Amino acid sequence: MRRANRGSPRQGEIEMVRPAVVAGQFYSGTREGLIREIEACFASRLGPGPCIRAVDRGRPEPTGSRIVGLVCPHAGYVYSGAAAAWAYGALAANAIPEVAIILGPNHYGLGAAAALSPDEEWATPLGTVKVDTETAQAILKLSEYCQRDVLAHAREHSIEVQLPFIQYIAGDAVRIVPISISHLSEDDALALVEDLGKAISEAVHGKDAVVVASSDFTHYESKSSAATKDALAIERILALDARGLIDTVYSRNITMCGVIGTAVMIESCVRLGAKSARKLTYYTSGDVTGDIDQVVGYAALSVER
């Protein structure tokens, strides 16, 4: 894994607004349809029930423990939207942050290994979400590996599908820092987890922030196999054990696509004072479709301090 090139982005690389590239595929392509779809995710038999949104009542005052990290899936809303509703419903009920660092796996392998979007806004059918450029610049300065890269984000859905849920619960109150992470060898993954976890924690120190790890769990195994393997990964997340999560997923051949981002989230949240984690929900695509032979696992977890 190469360290970041500190030069300026190539001419023509920066786009002011990153378009919604999977609207109409992973989620509805219209504003009205998307709102209905998100509300159906909350209300579904696998969801948490109706959400009291911050846009309707203002920012909630935090009480008790504070959510500083989330694990949230990124499949089409018809499959994983109910799990996403659990994650963002918990955030809406807890406290709306000023900034969300969103770590998504790079499914296409394009661009830098740790790629921070150079765009200033990201678009969805619900409008645009602004990037927190100050926090983004701080992460770039503090990390040895993270670099600006538009290519890694050009076709990728794992970060984009998080945004409508954030907009639904918080309107335009949350700024984002989108970082795409490629699949890496175990040694490189561990190096990145320490480097980027430390950089994020220092960049958001003193800010009202949440770190979101976008990840699905086991892919295309039987429901029983997926549940067994995913329980091992979830156990390490609940223990706030970033290195243990990497070791477990790699040694047990668990096809958790966002494992590195999840480990980075844990590392940064622990450095920010996180003390505990909660499993909000877990189910598989088989619980949606009825096909239990080839499923994908979806989980929502919160990390709290």
- Angstrom distance (rounded) from CA 37 to CA 10: 39
Beta bridge partners of 210: 100
Q: Amino acid identity of 33?
A: G
The residue with tokens 């990728």 is: 156
Q: Are the C-beta atoms of residues 118 and 181 closer than 8 Å to each other?
A: no
Task: Report which DSSP code applies to 161.
Answer: G
Instruction: Read off the DSSP letter of residue 170.
Output: H
Strand ranges (DSSP E) for the chain?
Answer: 17-18, 67-72, 99-105, 114-116, 121-124, 127-130, 147-148, 175-181, 209-214, 219-221, 276-284, 295-304
Please give the Cα distance from 104 to 127 (Å, whole number): 21
d(CA 258, CA 109): 13
Cα 234 from Cα 254, distance rounded (Å): 11
**For residue 134, what is the enclosing H or E element?**
helix 133-142
What the block records as the tokens of 292 is: 């239990």
Quickly tell me which residue has 């909630």 as its tokens: 60
Please list the residues that pair with 131 across neighbouring strands. 176
Spell out the residues 6+ positions from residue 300 whose beta carbon is closer than 8 angstroms to its own. 70, 71, 72, 73, 83, 84, 86, 87, 90, 279, 280, 281, 282
Domains along the chain?
A: 32-304 (3.40.830.10)
Token pair 């390490």: residue: 236
Of residues 52, 268, 26, the one with CA closest to residue 170: 52
The structure's pTM equals 0.94
Amino acid identity of residue 256, one-letter, is M
* Burial classification of residue 197, based on how many CB atoms lie within 10 Å of its CB (0-12 exposed, 13-18 middle, 19 or more buried): buried
Helices (H), 182-222: 186-203
CA gap 234, 137 in Å, rounded: 32
| Both tokens assigned to 226 | 């997926």
pLDDT tens over the chain, length 305 residues: 767 754 444 434 445 899 999 999 999 999 999 999 999 999 999 999 998 776 666 655 656 799 999 999 999 999 999 999 999 999 999 989 999 999 999 999 999 999 999 999 999 999 999 999 999 999 999 999 999 999 999 999 999 999 999 999 999 999 999 999 999 999 999 999 999 999 999 999 999 999 999 999 999 999 999 999 999 999 999 999 999 999 999 999 999 999 999 999 999 999 999 999 999 999 999 999 999 999 999 999 999 99
